[in-house]
Amino acid sequence: MFFRIKPSGERRYLQIVENTRDGARTRQRVLATLGRVEELEADGRLDALLRSGARFSDTALLISSLQAGTLETSACLRIGAPMIFGRLWEQTGCHRVIERLASGRGFGFPVERAVFASVLHRLVVSGSDRACDKWLDAYQIDGADRLGLHQLYRAMAWLGEELADQSGATRAVRRNKDLIEEALFEGRRSLFSDLSVVLFDTTSLMFYGVGGESLGRHGKSKDHRPELKQVIVGVVIDAEGRPICSETWPGNTTDVKALLPVVTRRRERFGIGRMCVVADRGMISAETVTELEARGIDYILGARERSDAEVRKVVFTDSQPMVPLVIPRARGGETAIEVKEVMVGDWGPAKIRARGPRRYVVCFNPEQAQRDAAARAAILDSLRMKLQQGDKGLVGNAGYRRFLATPGEGHFEIDADRIAEDARFDGLYVLRTNSKMSTLSVALAYRQLWRVEAIFKTAKSILETRPIYHQSDAAIAGHLFCSFLALLLRKELDERLAAADLSAEWGDVVRDLDRVEQVSVEQAGKRFLLRPQAPGCAGGVFKAVGVALPPLVQQLPNATPPPRAESRSPPRHRGRPRCGATRR
């Protein structure tokens, strides 16, 4: 039975209708016409009727009490993010791999659950492990309700624990997290259908604490906090943006020394034989290029066009015209660039010429050129104002200093030649490669580095990996590895959403999932679980991942007390009674 509004001219009548089956056909029978809808709503008779009927329905009574604010709740737990990322955790193999590697260690608590809780915390709100311990109280995570802070610390230390067997170690020691990465890759190898191009980049993460025994070091800070210790983190992804592995080095490690160990591990531990490594200009050095060519590894590396003499004197002076190209963007629109190939073989010292021709690809982005010119104009406008106020404080500003010259009088002034020299590089970037790929393919492969940059942006903003307070190298490495696992789950979710044609910002996805809750209530001696409607895009996310939302109202079985043990009279002893323990 159900309510139905029956229109009749300008009037609408509320009816109670029953469906009946007549053979293969369904017929509707009007049981009662309650009156005009407007009148029932105006005088409150409809509300009174529904409240009266709610007494005979547990579900309706719950809804009525909830609306009236008289419902007593015993617990309210968030279930959206644990259900979605828990399913992805299972499907990516994280649960199976971590549980297998941790078995036999006798931890006394579920290490896999502690790792998952830390990863989920990074995805939803992030922060320290101490914050995660308090955050867990508001979430329904199977098997994690009894975890304590010290157990979260132990799980992080286990992830970063050094292996007894260090065979195959490169620049960084091998840890438990390396075994997990390699097992996850092997279990999902079919997804990495094209590993001809792998992307690699590094970033620095600062510490407020000691920074471990060896990882925390002072170095060139990309956070512009040179007074703080830092650690260098590298991430390798495929051309589709799927994370393959991560590396952790001391904070004073330079980028040019990071690439070769990563390439070695890809070959020896992941079995990736043929690949083209794509990396930014910070990775390029004569030693790195020579070693890559000696190993027969293709590379596409950003060149230092401002400081490389060969690029400035030969590549930039090449007179060949550039070829315009239009590249579609991932979310609509197009990007116009211009490219050309320049071969250099007879320039430089003899030892350089002996290596054979060097291939460069010059790229020009008109939109970026306009942005570069606008940024320079803004700096110059500000510089002119500063010069009118005095020039003593300008030397320490790197942005100003590159446009300044010192005349004979000893005062700074704007140098027109330096401005013209800087304008030469507007929108230009140069690539060094030994790949056989076409010029267009080389340019497109290098542009994919934005995926790695987006990962680091995610790691530093949404996941908030930093700052790190752990005191040991093992805990620091484990803490950072949880962020890598979080990135892996995010990529899996992004692919599911794209396949379902669901377009939503990452912040909206996490926020809406975090609002999916279950409320435990008691009504008339019965226990229920209530779930409000899924807000925003949460329902679409559940559907895209293939997870069913719990019912809106679910009755729980009443807890029954354990059966009482029957009282038994003590057995009657035959014969002579035993002596008591205190009897002499």
> In CATH, what number does 194-318+433-469 get?
3.30.420
Tens digits of per-residue pLDDT, 107-127?
A: 889 999 999 999 999 888 877
% of the chain with per-residue pLDDT over 70? 80
Tens digits of per-residue pLDDT, 371-407?
A: 999 998 988 888 888 777 766 666 556 667 777 776 6
* Owner of token pair 């791999």: 97
Chain centroid to CA 376: 34
Q: Which residues pair with 201 in a beta bridge?
A: 235
| Short-list 311, 362, 313, CA closest to 337 | 362
**Phi, psi for 106 (deg, rounded to 5):** 65, 45
DSSP reduced 3-state for 362: strand
Q: How far, CA to CA in Å, does 536 sit from each of 78, 122, 497, 513?
A: 15, 22, 14, 9
List, as one string, the DSSP characters of 36-71: EHHHHHHHTHHHHHHHHHHTT-HHHHHHHHHHHT-P
Tens digits of per-residue pLDDT, 146-204?
A: 888 889 999 999 999 998 888 777 778 889 999 999 899 888 777 665 566 778 878 78
Mean pLDDT on 470-498: 89
Mean pLDDT on 422-435: 88
Strand extents, DSSP E, 229-332:
230-238, 243-250, 276-279, 298-302, 323-328
CA distance 537 to 493: 13
Token pair for 232 = 């260098």
Confidence category of residue 234, pLDDT binned at 50, 70, 90:
confident
| Short-list 575, 533, 537, CA closest to 550 | 533
Q: Are 93 and 116 in contact (CB under 8 A)?
A: no
Q: First and final CA of the chain: distance in angstroms?
A: 85
DSSP reduced 3-state for 265: helix
Q: Are 304 and 288 in contact (CB under 8 A)?
A: no
Which of 102-106, 199-203, 366-370 has maximum average pLDDT?
366-370
Q: Are 90 and 433 in contact (CB under 8 A)?
A: no
Tens digits of per-residue pLDDT, 286-329?
A: 777 888 888 888 888 888 888 888 888 888 888 888 888 887 76
| CA atoms within 13 Å, Cβ hemisphere of 173 | 15
Chain centroid to CA 514: 16
Evaluate the CA torsion angle 269, 275, 277, 278 in order and state its sign: negative
DSSP reduced 3-state for 214: coil
pLDDT at 579 over 60: no
- 492-499 CB contacts, 8 Å cutoff, 24+ apart: 492/88, 492/91, 492/92, 493/84, 493/85, 493/88, 493/541, 493/545, 496/88, 496/544, 496/545, 497/541, 497/544, 499/544
Confidence category of residue 61, pLDDT binned at 50, 70, 90:
low
Confidence category of residue 101, pLDDT binned at 50, 70, 90:
very high
**Residue 349's pLDDT is what?**
60
Q: Which residues pair with 277 in a beta bridge?
A: 198, 299
Confidence category of residue 544, pLDDT binned at 50, 70, 90:
very high
Relative to beta strand 517-523, strand 230-238 is unpaired
Relative to beta strand 25-36, strand 11-22 is antiparallel
pLDDT at 134 over 90: no
Q: Are 414 and 380 in contact (CB under 8 A)?
A: yes
* pTM, two decimal places: 0.74
Residues constituting the chain: 584
Gyration radius (Cα) of the chain, Å: 34
pLDDT at 278 over 90: no
**Residue 280's pLDDT is what?**
80
**Residue 70's pLDDT is what?**
63
**Residue 309's pLDDT is what?**
83
Q: What is the 3-state secondary structure (H, E, C) of 406-469?
A: CCCCCCCEECHHHHHHHHCCCCEEEEEECCCCCHHHHHHHHHCHHHHHHHHHHHHCCCCCCCEC
**Residue 133's pLDDT is what?**
83
Q: For 428-463, b where at least 16 C-beta lie within 10 A, e where not — what string? A: bbbbbbbbebebebbbbbbbbbebbeebbebbbebb
Q: Which residues contact 98 (CB under 8 A, 6 or more apart)?
A: 111, 112, 115, 180
CA distance 108 to 528: 33
| Short-list 60, 49, 50, 47, CA closest to 523 | 60
For the chain, the average pLDDT equals: 80
* Owner of token pair 């809750």: 517
**Residue 567's pLDDT is what?**
47
> Cα angle vertex 246, ends 244, 249, to 5°?
160
Q: How far, CA to CA in Å, does 14 sit from each of 40, 51, 57, 335, 419?
A: 9, 17, 21, 59, 79
Extents of the domains making up the chain: 2-56, 75-191+472-557, 194-318+433-469, 370-423
Confidence category of residue 449, pLDDT binned at 50, 70, 90:
confident
Q: How far, CA to CA in Å, does 52 sit from each of 55, 56, 57?
A: 6, 8, 10
Confidence category of residue 358, pLDDT binned at 50, 70, 90:
confident
Mean pLDDT on 351-362: 74
CA distance 467 to 461: 11
CA distance 216 to 206: 8
Q: Are 489 and 89 in contact (CB under 8 A)?
A: yes
**Phi, psi for 523 (deg, rounded to 5):** -145, 120
Q: Which residues contact 491 (CB under 8 A, 6 or more apart)?
A: 241, 242, 243
Tens digits of per-residue pLDDT, 517-536?
A: 988 877 667 777 888 888 89
What one-letter code names the amino acid at 406? T
